[in-house]
Copies of this chain bind each other. A is one copy, B any other.
């Protein structure tokens, strides 16, 4: 089956065209050919709430009109701007998704949402990966897309992909989960718990930005490779103004302060906790699945991906990327990821 043959599944569905989207005009309906960056209101029942509510979801849709849809989701700090566009900037995965890339927007449409955060869900005490999965399904409903060719998720996006496959198996042909498993590893849970406590400490004592900055620095140490640290930070510390400066600190400081400019504490707390709450029974994933792990990933150990592969409810293959970059290899190793994506799509007849 080619991408083209699949396209008829993804046309606008007139049955859905008359739905109310919580009062927001689904103007994007009228422009299926264009790249879209818009907002919808969908009805959701969050996992940790007991009633249905209207939730605004920001999404983007980029690619050839009426082509099959591929949902792409990244880590907690990645938004809907996957592909480079005029309206959405450079795109966080533009080396992998775009015209002529492995995820070729001349042959498919890339759909992505901005992660829901706690404020989006009203009175729910937490945002679950299942809520994000349901939001994506609701956006597909709203856009009249019955079935997607693939869901490609990295990090938290992979966790949400597993939840999506478990909850909406009829909505996708194939799942690609990169550097994400059916649960967060307890050591990673511990490290994120400390990150959240740092954010709370800063907020409680009156310097929320300092807390968020330090929490991000800590997260960075988990995202990157051990060898990468050794190579980047070979220089001995320098004594300046009575205090030693370490190369490691300078690198982390830059990462922390740039994060503070583009993120906020409440969003960080909700999405970080959402990773730790994530739990999907591998047996419930009854969709053909490609799992991609990273040799040096200290956030998602390969042992958890092996466990997931073994227990998956449908055929699942596990591939390992060899990288110096640790967890962030899903952003850095464009060549290896592209090759694996092309292989996965070839195996489902979409090459």
* A252 beta carbon closer than 8 Å to chain B: yes
Residues of B within 8 A of A210 (CB): 201, 205
CB atoms of A187 and B48 under 8 A apart: no
Nearest CB in chain B: distance from A76 CB, A: 17
With A186-B234, A273-B244 known as contacts, the answer to whether A201 contacts B194 (CB < 8 A) is no
A264 to B229, CA, bound (A): 29
Pairs A–B under 8 Å by Cβ, sample size 30: A125-B239, A185-B226, A186-B232, A189-B233, A189-B246, A190-B221, A190-B229, A190-B246, A190-B248, A190-B251, A193-B246, A193-B249, A193-B252, A194-B214, A194-B218, A194-B252, A197-B217, A197-B249, A198-B198, A198-B214, A201-B205, A201-B211, A201-B214, A202-B205, A205-B207, A205-B210, A237-B277, A244-B276, A244-B277, A246-B276
* A242 beta carbon closer than 8 Å to chain B: yes
CB atoms of A243 and B194 under 8 A apart: no
| A251 closest partner in B (C-beta) | B190
| A196 closest partner in B (C-beta) | B249
Main secondary structure of the interface of A (DSSP, over half): helix
* A residues whose Cβ falls under 8 Å from a Cβ of B: 48, 125-126, 185-187, 189-191, 193-194, 197-198, 201-202, 204-207, 210-211, 214, 217-218, 221, 226, 229-230, 232-234, 236-237, 239, 242-244, 246-249, 251-252, 273, 276-277, 279, 301
Nearest CB in chain B: distance from A311 CB, A: 16
A276 to B206, CA, bound (A): 30
A273 to B218, CA, bound (A): 17
A251 to B194, CA, bound (A): 12
Residues of B within 8 A of A249 (CB): 190, 193, 197
A232 to B190, CA, bound (A): 12
Cross-interface CB contact of A197 among B191, B214, B239, B273, cutoff 8 Å: B214
| A217 closest partner in B (C-beta) | B194
A204 to B211, CA, bound (A): 12
With A125-B242, A207-B201, A239-B48 known as contacts, the answer to whether A229 contacts B193 (CB < 8 A) is no
Nearest CB in chain B: distance from A254 CB, A: 13
